[in-house]
Homo-oligomer: A and B are copies of this chain.
Amino acid sequence: MATDVFGALANPVRRALLAALLEGPRPVNDLASLFDLSRPAVSEHLQLLRQAGLVREEPRGRQRWYHLDAAPLAEVGDWLHPFEHYWRDRLRALSDLLDEERP
């Protein structure tokens, strides 16, 4: 049932939600106000993030504060790892070239 983490990151709204939660927990209305989008739409994005294990909800009075749960992102990091040296090599080659150009 645990939804795909990569699928969760495929949507820019969900990525922005995770980035917003990076600065601390927030209630739903607060999060929804960040987007030009109806509240139910944001609520459903949060549901998908919840199913992916990326956020956790804490009921606080009549509102629910959402917390970031970055652990599942480790799967993305792991998948990315074999490719990482590949593009870092390119970047290093570029910076070496620039150093050579302007010593």
Contact = CB atoms under 8 A, between A and B. Distances in A.
Interface of A: 4, 6-7, 9-10, 12, 15, 18-19, 22, 68, 70-71, 73-74, 76-77, 79-80, 82-84, 86-87, 90-91
A2 to B, nearest CB: 14
How many subunits of this chain does the assembly comprise?
Answer: 2
A84 B68 CA distance: 12
A19 B88 CA distance: 17
A98 to B, nearest CB: 16
12 contacts: A6-B6, A6-B15, A9-B9, A9-B10, A10-B10, A15-B79, A22-B83, A68-B83, A68-B86, A73-B80, A73-B83, A73-B87
A22 B85 CA distance: 11
Given A73-B87, A87-B73, A82 B22 contact: yes
A12 B101 CA distance: 42
